[in-house]
Every structure is written in structure tokens, then in C-alpha cells.
Amino acid sequence: MRLIRTRAYARAGLLGNPSDGYFGKTISLPVRNFWAEAVLYDWPELEIVLARQDRCSFNSLGELCEDVSLHGYYGGLRLVKATVKKFAQHCGQQGIGLSDDTFSIRYDSNIPRQVGLAGSSAIITATLRALMQFYGVDIPREIQPNLILSVETEELGIAGGLQDRVCQVYETLVYMDFARELMEGRGYGCYEPLDPALLPPLYIAYDTRLSEISGVFHNNIRERWRREDPEVLEAMRDFASYAEQGRAALLAGDHDRLAQLMNMNFDCRRRLYRLAPRHIEMVELARRLGASAKFAGSGGSVIGSYRDEAMYQQLQQAFQAAGCRIFKPIIQ
């Protein structure tokens, strides 16, 4: 019996997000502290196994309400099911014949849910990798993020951009250019892996009480962008510029400039979006201690740089006192 086990890691946006869905530029990094895993093996029928995150049994009415408040009504089961369908469709469109072999597949994830660390796309990426290995299909690396994104946007109606999926496919620090001419011309952007050793010391902090479905977070801005709202168009150009300048700062070893750009990225976002006060407090807490801070994704987690271990200890005490978890991201 074949037994296939694949992983995909959490992701944190360093600069430029959320311009990836708007022909912008971003820099993103994998967070290997957390991952989603798919396990696939030969089985007499095609079976998708419920995971612990797809719980349907509760000890009380209150426990059910708490679970829905934190995680919404959807687990990862629909992500796996939609990925299997999209994979089959893609192979059919590309003239790739698949065997009649059937399998059982299950997933698991320890990525904090709905706090902007790309837990959903990690489940899809791990599932796609398992399917590719099971059927012996090689999908070009630059195409995989598009397929992963289409699972959410086309099958499930979840808004998003390519940043998460590119980072999770490439599994390193990546500078991404999603220029319109590239996306509309060849269908994918320019993805440049960068050496993680160029990064300054980084922290990530998150609060699971801030769970928020990213599709809801992005919807209003996307509609304004489609209407060519000048404020949104200008902000997306600014986000892209921060990523472009951030790449130059990394290559020059200018960590102070990188920190400035991260703060500017959040300030721009704050002007454009209506943000939850608790989200803003997390950023301001870090800044009061001298660290830079911005959202790692759609909200609920922040990423920033710090000067030295003494500053990190201050951050750790402050975030823990505020009911947040903080850690140093493992990138490679």
C-alpha cells in the first residue's frame, strides 16, 4: 500500500500585502513553526476523512457556540474536496490521463485558524502535493499557485491573492511581482526567491480571539478596486512600492529602512481599511517598545522586526500580558 504524507507551511506577509490580488508586488516568508499535513493512501473507494477540525460533536451548547465564534461554520473538509475536484479538472484540461486508482485522504493542521497565517491555502497546497505524488503528475511550480488559488476563488467563492500560494509552493522568502502585463500575458508573475539570511530578527504575534474569515475582510476593497476607486488604486500602488523598496533594502542590508517600510505598510492599510481596535492595539503595542509592526495577513496576527534579544523579551512580556502568543518564525 502506498502511503503519502505531505506538508505545507504557514505564511507571513512581510511587505506589499494585500496588493497581490491587485497586480501589485509583495514579499512573503514561510513560517515553519506551523503546518498543514495531508496523508493519502490506497483505498478501495475514494474517501475524504473528517479531521479533528471538522468536529460535529460538542459537550454543550456553549462549546458549539464558542467553536463557531472562533472558527466559523467551515472546517478544512471542503478545501480538500474542492482541491481533488480542481486537480482532476486541471489534468483533464491539460490532457493528462489519470489512473482509476482510488484513495483515502485526511488532513491535519496546527496553523492558528483565521488569524492571517494562510491556514486554508496550506491545507490546499498539502493536498495538491499528495495528489501530484499519488498520480505521478508534475505541475510546473509557477503554475501551482494559480491552481491552488482557483480552489478557493472559483470553487468556494473565497477572495484572495496569489501571495500565500506562491510562498507555500516555493517554501522560502520570495519577492513577487504580479504586474498586469505578466498576469494577463502568461498567467503568472515573476517570483524571485531571496536568501532568508538577509532578514533582520523577526517576531510574529497572534491572538486566536481575533479569528476573521479573510474572504470577508477583502470583499469591500475588491469591489471598490473594480470600480476604480482612486483611493484604493493609489493604496495598491503604495503597497507594491513598499515591497519593491523592501527588496532593495534587504539586498543592501538596510534593516532600519525595512522596518520603516513595514510600518508604512500598516499605516497605509489603516487609512484604507476599517480595522478592529484590538488589531490596531497589537501593532501599537509593538511600536511603543521600538519594534516595527504590520499585519502578517488579513488580520489577527502581526509581524515585525526587533533590535536585539532584550527588545524581544520586552515584546514577549507585553504580548503575553495582552493575551497574545509571540514567537520567532522559523523560515528555513
Residue found by looking up cell 485526511 in the block: 106
Q: How, if at all, do strands 103-109 and 47-48 pair?
A: parallel
Domains of the chain: which residue ranges?
3-193, 196-327
Q: Is 67 a catalytic residue?
A: no
Q: Alpha-carbon Rg of the chain, whole angstroms?
A: 20
- Collapsing DSSP to helix, strand or coil, 212 comes out as coil
Question: CATH number of the domain at 196-327, please?
Answer: 3.30.70.890
Cα 281 → chain centroid: 22
Buried b (16+ CB within 10 A) or exposed e, 222-239: bebbeeeeeebeebbebb
**What pLDDT tens digit does each residue of the chain (332 aa) get?**
899 999 999 999 999 999 999 999 999 999 999 999 999 999 999 999 988 777 778 889 988 887 777 666 767 899 999 999 999 999 999 999 999 999 999 999 999 988 999 999 999 999 999 999 999 999 999 999 999 999 999 999 887 889 999 999 999 999 999 999 999 999 999 999 999 999 999 999 999 775 554 444 555 888 999 999 999 999 999 999 999 999 999 999 999 999 999 999 999 999 999 888 998 999 999 999 999 999 999 889 999 999 999 999 999 999 999 999 999 999 99
Residue type, 4: I
Question: CATH number of the domain at 3-193, please?
Answer: 3.30.230.10
Query: Given 54, 101, 138, 164, which residue is catalytic?
Result: 164
